[in-house]
Amino acid sequence: MEDAFGIAALWLLLALLSAILASAVRISIALVEICVGVTVSALLGMVDAADLLAANSEWLRFLASVGAVLLTFLAGAELDPQVLRTKLKEVTVVGFVGFFAPFLGCAALAFWVLGWDSNASWLAGIALSTTSMAVVYAVMLETGLSKTEYGKGILGACFINDLGTVIALGLIFSPFTYKTVVFITVTGALLALLPRVTAWLTHWYGYRTAAIRTKWVMFILCGLGALALWSGSEPVLPAYIAGMVLAGSAAKDVHWMRRLRTLTVGFLTPFYFLRAGTLVSLPALVSAPFVFFALLIGKVASKIFGLYPFISAFRRDRNERWYYTLLMSTGLTFGTISALFGLSHGLVSQEQYSFLVAAVIASAVVPTVVAGVAFLPKHLLLEHRGHDIREGLSEEG
């Protein structure tokens, strides 16, 4: 137990330093935590002290996974059903193109240029086809874009994109079994009941120190996560859909959402983002940097060339188009999950896994930094803040 507290204190110290650094350089804390994880892991590796982080310990992996699940749930809860209905064409087109362009492009790159076998190539296409819901949502929160229809449209497109990744991984490498049927049936039934039961619990037991609604939501997320893992899927998928199902009611309770974000971002997600950085093997990258750069450029370039023409049909402002495109070019959660799936099932080697994870993590950092520095649509933030001020004055009047 003493070791666990000591390790947790070390990780939270790194999270604290990351927050200070992110504030100083003015980029997303999620990206800083990833970079800090890479740097600290490499430095400890040089002095043969990598075990000090205990990044693969079961309890730390659990905390990181719960952080990813809760962050994904919050991303789904931020989606306005009305906005999604009005932007259905946009999020569907952008989401599907965002999946298919890198999926086919990176699979071809791995097979024809890098000389990987067919299984490793298809796995590379899947791992690099993703858009990072965790990173995008974290950036949306920090910038304030999560409250705009523009930001909600990006989150919707991210969901469609990652849904394509999950389906492709299942169809190509995971057999459709009775477990899949059980998972879909039980998840559908629970999600259908979720809004009504949540409203009933909130009405009779909510707004007390027992925090029963939070416990109820955590129970559902962990239960669906366990069922997803048992069926061969991933827990973040039902978590996102659960967030979407509760989006209408969650949006009405700003204080509850704020407290849940504090728990998630303040305690859980640092374990996820820092640990994601520790997965990168710098020696493997140094030994063959061409492979890493080829995969990274292949992912980002296929996303940009595939998405920009379609996004231009929906957004006229130059900064809006580029910011949208670059955020859709990120990858992290499903990318690392897919790469780990490939390693666990013998589809890719340890070296190929390191290249894939490094490319995925770099794609979470590079496009997001460029988007934030060069293409942040500040006019949308000014419009949203002006709208909030007008609403506040109207309420006071």
Q: Tell me the C-alpha distance between 334 and 168, whole Å.
A: 12
Cβ atoms of residues 191 and 127 within 8 Å = no
- Domain boundaries, given as residue ranges, for the chain: 1-56, 58-268+280-396
Cβ atoms of residues 363 and 334 within 8 Å = no
Whether the CA torsion 345, 350, 352, 355 is positive or negative: it is positive
pLDDT digits (tens, 9 = 90+) for 310-332: 999 999 899 999 999 999 999 88
pLDDT at 397 over 50: no
What's the distance, CA 123 to chain centroid? Answer: 19
| CATH class assigned to 58-268+280-396 | mainly alpha
pLDDT at 109: 97
Element (H, E) at 337: helix 333-344
How many residues are recorded in the chain? 397
Amino acid at 45: G
pLDDT digits (tens, 9 = 90+) for 329-342: 998 877 887 887 88
The reported pTM is: 0.80
Q: Tell me the C-alpha distance between 153 and 159, whole Å.
A: 10
Whether the CA torsion 367, 373, 375, 381 is positive or negative: it is positive
Residue appearing with tokens 């705009």: 148
Confidence of residue 157 (pLDDT cuts 50, 70, 90): very high
List b or e across 176-213, with b for residues whose CB sees 16 or more CB atoms inside 10 angstroms.
eeeeeeebeeebeebbeebbeebeeebeeebeeeebeb
pLDDT digits (tens, 9 = 90+) for 57-96: 999 999 998 998 998 888 788 777 777 778 889 999 999 9
What does pLDDT average to over the chain? 86
